[in-house]
Structure 1
Amino acid sequence: MLTYAIVVFAVAAVGGLVLAAHVLRNKFAPWAVSVLHALLGAAGLILLITLIVQGNAPQQAVIGFALLLLAALGGFFLASFHARRKLPPKAIVVIHAGVAVVGFLTLASVLL
C-alpha cells in the first residue's frame, strides 16, 4: 500500500512541477492539470489513511502523511486563487511545494 501511495504522489509531483512552473512565470496554470494534481494527491492520502487505520504504518509514514496533509491544505488555498482568477503568491507556491517534497521524501525513506 505504501509503495502505491509513493508512486501516486510521484505522479502528482510531476503535475505539481508543471503548475508551479506556470505560476512562477506569471501564467495561469492549466485547470485540468490542477484537478488531476489534486485528485492524485487525494488518492495518495486515502492510500495512506488506509495504511494508518490498519495499524501497521511505520512512524515515518504517519509523519509523511501529516506533512502531505498540510501540503494539501496549502493546495486548497492555492486553488482558491485559481478559482478567483488571480495568480497566487509565489512564496505560497514554494512553501506548498517544499512541504510536499519533505512529506514525499519522508514517505520514501521508509522504503530505503
Structure 2
Amino acid sequence: MLMTAIFLFIIALCFGIGLLVTVLSDRPTSRPVVLIHGGAALLGLLLIIAYILKGNFQPLLVISVVLFIVAALGGLTLFIFDMRAKPIPKALAILHPLLALTAFLTLIIYILP
C-alpha cells in the first residue's frame, strides 16, 4: 500500500516539476497536467491515510501525512488561483513543492529499515 503511494507521489512529482517550471516562467498551465498531478497526489495521500487507519499509527508516518495535507491545501489554493485565471503567487508555487518533498522524504525515511 505504501509502495503504491510512493509510486503515485513520484508521478505527482514528475508532473509537478513541469507545472512549477510553467508557473515560474509565467506561462499558462495545462489542465490535464494539473489534474493528473493533483489526482495522483490525492490518491497517494488517501492510501497513506487508509494505511494509518488500519492500525499503523506511527509518529513519523503521521508527521508525513500532516505535511502532505498542508502541501495539499497549498496545492488546492494554487488550483483555485489557476481555475479563476488569476496570477499564481510564486512564493506559494515554491512553498507547495518544498512541503510535499519534505513529506515525501519523511515517508521514505519511515519505510526504510
Question: Residues of 2 paired with 1:105 and 1:55: CA distance?
Answer: 22
Counterpart in the other structure of 2:6: 6
Give the counterpart letter for 1:101 in structure 2. L
The Cα offsets for residues 67-105 of structure 1, whole Å up to 9 and x where unpaired, read as: 011100001100111111123011100000110000000
Residue pairs, 1:51-70, within 5 angstroms: 51-70=51-70
Residue pairs, 1:31-42, within 5 angstroms: 31-42=31-42
Post-superposition offset of 1:27: 0.7
- Unaligned stretches of 5+ residues in structure 1: none
Question: Residues of 2 paired with 1:83 and 1:14: CA distance?
Answer: 21
Post-superposition offset of 1:54: 0.5
Say which is worse superposed, 68-77 or 1-10, in terms of deviation.
Answer: 1-10
**What RMSD, in angstroms, separates the aligned Cα atoms of the two structures?**
1.0
Question: Residues of 1 paired with 2:68 and 2:19: CA distance?
Answer: 17
Runs of 4+ in 1 over 4 A off after TM superposition: none
Q: Which structure exhibits the higher relative contact order, with contacts defined as CA atoms closer than 8 Å and separated by 6 or more residues?
A: 1
- Unaligned stretches of 5+ residues in structure 2: none
Give the counterpart letter for 1:71 in structure 2. A
State the SS of the aligned residue for 1:86.
coil
Counterpart in the other structure of 1:78: 78
The Cα offsets for residues 33-81 of structure 1, whole Å up to 9 and x where unpaired, read as: 0001111011001101110100124321111111011100001100111
Question: Residues of 1 paired with 2:48 and 2:57: CA distance?
Answer: 8
Say which is worse superposed, 72-81 or 50-59, in terms of deviation.
Answer: 50-59
Give the counterpart letter for 1:94 in structure 2. I
